[in-house]
Chain A
Amino acid sequence: MFDHVNESLRWIPFLPLIGAMVSGIWLIFARNELPRPLVIALGCLTPILAFALSMWCVFQLATTFPAGERFFTDNLYTWISAGDFHAELSFLLDPLSAVMILVVTGVGSLIHIYSIGYMDEDHRDDRGFQRFFCYMNLFTFLMLMLVLGDNLLVLFVGWEGVGLCSYLLIGFWYLDDHNAMCGQKAFVVNRIGDFGFLLGIFVLFWAFFQAGHPTIEFHAMREYVGEIAQREVALPAWLGFLPGFPTWSLLTLAGLLFFLGACGKSAQLPLYVWLPDAMAGPTPVSALIHAATMVTAGVYMVCRLSFIYSLAPGALATVAWVGGLTALFAATIALCQKDIKKILAYSTVSQLGYMFLAAGVASYSAAIFHLVTHAFFKALLFLGAGSVILGVHHEQNIDLMGGLRRRMPWTHLTFLVGVLTIAGLPPFAAFFSKDEILLGVNLAHDVPGHMVLWGMALVTAALTACYMLRLYFLTFTGECRAPIQVRSHIREQPTVILGPLFVLAGLSVLGGLAGLPNAYGETFFGIPRSNSLYYFLEESAASAHHEVTHAREFLLAGGAVLIALAGVATAALLYYYRTDLVPKLTAVVRPLYRLVWNKYYVDELYQKTIVRPLLRVSDAFFYRTVDVRIIDRIGVDGTAKVVRDIADRGLKLAQTGLTQSYVFVMLLGSVILIAYFVRGL
């Protein structure tokens, strides 16, 4: 037997928490910032130490146990205990969370280091620098709680906590009303998803409770899930239009509810609208929270609950279709945007759709693989964009950039690596992860319409290559279109900013080796079973297994590369060789262009159909009627009035002003009390 308890696990999340608490408590009670070197040490060293500790724990995990028995647990205490139900505050390190903590702490540390350079200039006088690192550390802590949580409740604590940090950091420069509004939007939209997530927890717990296993702990749920697989729930009559009416499998219902949560957190249709607006936050925040880690929590959660989704094909197909549609939808919007961060935001939405598509065809390892490579290249792209934004003095419109290749050579080089990676060109990391997703979709015969999904994924790949190259050409090549007074000041950024870019660029190039598909490993390197990520993750989230010939795999990959190259070529033609074609082209398809430029008017649609009516109901009914009339007038004023009237009509006569009458009443009371206790009356 192996000892699966590892008490050092708790320090992985607690180290960043220490950083957040020290700087946070200092900020509450002190007027000044801590000395800047101390802020940097606290803010950056704690995630770096957490990364080192994660490496050590994962190394132990991989070497101590044989495959199939790899997990560490660390139980802090029993959090909730009610009858047979116990919720522990405990952490679980298994292959799935191992991959996640390495990404969170690794990429997180790089972004923390980058932030030293990025946040320095604007926050010389206020206390923003320390506040920023306090929030970032808090976020790292909660994200680690999310991925290390041993049961649904701990996961949920992290889930809500990262949402809070996201809100705090989007509105970090809260003096600008717009930023604060964007933070609120993110928070409110996420609330809709969390509602589904919470209901999912209730449904699942209720089912397990009725089956005699009151538990929400992942290992136990996985063991007993077979006992509730056959349970059905009756749908109410007004839901008669749904497929499968009048009964649904309980696991399908739970899976869909959890996926609603994932849609909110991971910005999928129809709840994606908050992510582009979340770009109001500082750029390192966009890189860490809104690209690399938090928004992938939904994908992680679907993979973590893969044992439920594998028994609920309906829910899984929904995941695949929503993911596929989101990927395509967001990619088309990204094609026409002008704000460098918005383009990257829509690209993130699209890539997250890709991950859900992979999870939806039960290729969980492909989803996690893409999650990892995406964390590398998207963090790289965002940090590169941040460097560009600093270079052109806080301008985000790519129409006012251009020609930055000579002025910022290192930023240019690393950004190019990121662009080629996301475009899916070999041998960069995303080529392999995208390839595995496309293969999984192509072979998923049990998902309805899988060939349509595959086609959509291919089109998305082409669009991705196209809009990313467009962004690259407009930013780095051609003439510089920045205002004349800015143009002469554009400089390369200092090492503290470039360093993380180089590391991430290296990871974007080499990251694919973690999950090198077997076909490539065997053909080119002679290594059997080279897709180590797939085998590593198998025990946490067993992916669908497809027997497929290498020839077919290469054929599919070749097709995908050709399609990506077509996207690259289109972008090169339009934005590099024949820039005069673009205005003509947009003039030809003007209505379509305007539709896409305005993001399909989805925000306006939500504003009209949901936000405005809700505000009107809130104002007319909940504010004017419930709050003012009922609570204020009847509840608060009414209570006071009743008490006053009773006192006025007679109770006040007890106040005689004669001291001795008070003494008498007191004496009488004492006598009655004593008589009661002595005689037991």
Chain B
Amino acid sequence: MIEPWHYQVVSALLFMTGVLGVLIRRNVIVMAMCIELMLNGANLSLVAFSRMWGNHDGQIFVFMVIVVAAVEVAVGLAIIIRLIANRDSLNIEDTNLLKW
């Protein structure tokens, strides 16, 4: 029998994978994908709780997150394309002009 906490464990694993990816990886595209992972981790948790309590609020929220994620990908990819055009590189550490 799969209990709610099983979902929470998977959700937490997904989320932490995303966090670590953003923190450790230097490739901008990979970082963007890791952000998507974090969002999906949160989504899973929301759906699981929604089912557990038997109401639909959490699922509606998930739709919202998916829409925002889609928009965010559009903006993020546009930024990445500009980065490649300007820096000729996908390494985030090459983009460091805004500092002291």
B-side contacts of A653, CB under 8 Å: 100
Which B60-100 residues have C-beta < 8 A from chain A?
A: 92-93, 95-100
| B99 pairs with A655, CB closer than 8 A | yes
A-side contacts of B93, CB under 8 Å: 658
Size category of the B interface is 10 to 19
B1 contacts the other chain (CB 8 A): no
| A655 pairs with B95, CB closer than 8 A | no
B-side contacts of A578, CB under 8 Å: none
B-side contacts of A657, CB under 8 Å: 96-100
A78 contacts the other chain (CB 8 A): no
Known A664-B23, A667-B19; judge A659-B99 contact (CB<8 A): no
B-side contacts of A551, CB under 8 Å: none
B42 contacts the other chain (CB 8 A): no
Instruction: Write out, one digit per residue, whether chain B residues 30-71 have a CB within 8 A of any chain A CB (1) or not (0).
Output: 000000000000000000000000000000000000000000
Contact of B92 among A652, A659, A664, A667 (CB under 8 A): A659
In Å, the complex CA distance between A589 and B22 comes to: 102
B-side contacts of A652, CB under 8 Å: 100
A656 contacts the other chain (CB 8 A): yes
Which A641-673 residues have C-beta < 8 A from chain B?
A: 652-653, 655-660, 663-664, 667
A-side contacts of B98, CB under 8 Å: 655, 657
Contact of A660 among B23, B99, B100 (CB under 8 A): B23
Chain A min CB distance to B76 (Å): 13
Q: Compute the total of residue contacts between A and B using a CB distance below 8 Å.
A: 25
* Complex: chain A residue closest to B98, CB-CB: A657
Instruction: Write out, one digit per residue, whether chain A residues 619-655 have a CB within 8 A of any chain B CB (1) or not (0).
Output: 0000000000000000000000000000000001101
Chain B min CB distance to A663 (Å): 6
Instruction: Write out, one digit per residue, whether chain A residues 41-84 have a CB within 8 A of any chain B CB (1) or not (0).
Output: 00000000000000000000000000000000000000000000
Chain B min CB distance to A180 (Å): 52
In Å, the complex CA distance between A658 and B95 comes to: 8
Known A658-B93, A659-B92; judge A667-B99 contact (CB<8 A): no
| B23 pairs with A658, CB closer than 8 A | no
In Å, the complex CA distance between A663 and B93 comes to: 13
How many residues of chain A are within 8 Å of chain B by beta carbon?
Answer: 11
Known A667-B19, A667-B23; judge A660-B92 contact (CB<8 A): yes
Contact of A663 among B22, B96, B97 (CB under 8 A): B22
Chain A min CB distance to B49 (Å): 16
B-side contacts of A659, CB under 8 Å: 92, 95-96
B-side contacts of A664, CB under 8 Å: 23
Chain B min CB distance to A675 (Å): 15
* Complex: chain A residue closest to B97, CB-CB: A657
| A660 pairs with B96, CB closer than 8 A | no
In Å, the complex CA distance between A664 and B22 comes to: 9
B-side contacts of A663, CB under 8 Å: 22-23
* Complex: chain A residue closest to B28, CB-CB: A659
Chain A min CB distance to B34 (Å): 10
In Å, the complex CA distance between A657 and B97 comes to: 6
Chain B min CB distance to A664 (Å): 6
In Å, the complex CA distance between A660 and B30 comes to: 13
* Complex: chain B residue closest to A660, CB-CB: B23
* Complex: chain B residue closest to A647, CB-CB: B100
Chain B min CB distance to A657 (Å): 3
| B100 pairs with A655, CB closer than 8 A | yes
Chain B min CB distance to A282 (Å): 62
In Å, the complex CA distance between A664 and B24 comes to: 10
* Complex: chain A residue closest to B99, CB-CB: A657
B-side contacts of A655, CB under 8 Å: 98-100
A-side contacts of B96, CB under 8 Å: 656-659
| A656 pairs with B99, CB closer than 8 A | yes
In Å, the complex CA distance between A656 and B93 comes to: 11
A-side contacts of B100, CB under 8 Å: 652-653, 655, 657
In Å, the complex CA distance between A655 and B97 comes to: 10
In Å, the complex CA distance between A658 and B99 comes to: 8
Chain B min CB distance to A647 (Å): 9
A-side contacts of B95, CB under 8 Å: 659
Instruction: Write out, one digit per residue, whether chain B residues 5-35 have a CB within 8 A of any chain A CB (1) or not (0).
Output: 0000000000000010011000000000000
A-side contacts of B23, CB under 8 Å: 660, 663-664, 667
* Complex: chain A residue closest to B92, CB-CB: A659
Chain A min CB distance to B43 (Å): 18
* Complex: chain A residue closest to B19, CB-CB: A667
In Å, the complex CA distance between A652 and B100 comes to: 6
B-side contacts of A667, CB under 8 Å: 19, 23
In Å, the complex CA distance between A465 and B59 comes to: 94
In Å, the complex CA distance between A656 and B95 comes to: 11
Chain A min CB distance to B16 (Å): 11
Chain A min CB distance to B26 (Å): 8
| A660 pairs with B22, CB closer than 8 A | yes
In Å, the complex CA distance between A405 and B7 comes to: 107
Chain A min CB distance to B50 (Å): 21
Chain A min CB distance to B93 (Å): 7
* Complex: chain A residue closest to B26, CB-CB: A660
A-side contacts of B92, CB under 8 Å: 659-660
A-side contacts of B22, CB under 8 Å: 660, 663
In Å, the complex CA distance between A653 and B96 comes to: 14
A-side contacts of B97, CB under 8 Å: 657
A-side contacts of B19, CB under 8 Å: 667
In Å, the complex CA distance between A656 and B100 comes to: 7
B-side contacts of A660, CB under 8 Å: 22-23, 92
* Complex: chain B residue closest to A664, CB-CB: B23
Tell which of A658, A659, A664, A667 has the most Cβ of chain B within 10 Å.
A659
Chain A min CB distance to B41 (Å): 14
In Å, the complex CA distance between A653 and B97 comes to: 14
Chain B min CB distance to A380 (Å): 76
* Complex: chain A residue closest to B95, CB-CB: A659
Chain A min CB distance to B19 (Å): 7
Chain B min CB distance to A244 (Å): 73
In Å, the complex CA distance between A657 and B95 comes to: 8
In Å, the complex CA distance between A655 and B100 comes to: 6
In Å, the complex CA distance between A658 and B97 comes to: 9
Chain A min CB distance to B66 (Å): 22
Tell which of B95, B96, B100 has the most Cβ of chain A within 10 Å.
B100
Chain B interface (Cβ < 8 Å from any Cβ of A): 19, 22-23, 92-93, 95-100
21 A-B pairs within 8 Å (CB atoms) are namely A652-B100, A653-B100, A655-B98, A655-B99, A655-B100, A656-B96, A656-B99, A657-B96, A657-B98, A657-B99, A657-B100, A658-B96, A659-B92, A659-B95, A659-B96, A660-B23, A660-B92, A663-B22, A663-B23, A664-B23, A667-B23
Closest 8 CB pairs of A and B: A657-B99, A657-B96, A652-B100, A655-B99, A659-B92, A655-B100, A663-B22, A656-B99
Beyond the given pairs A663-B22, A667-B19, 17 more chain A to chain B contacts, judged by CB atoms under 8 angstroms and listed by A's residue number, are A652-B100, A653-B100, A655-B98, A655-B99, A655-B100, A656-B99, A657-B96, A657-B98, A657-B99, A658-B93, A658-B96, A659-B95, A659-B96, A660-B22, A660-B92, A663-B23, A667-B23
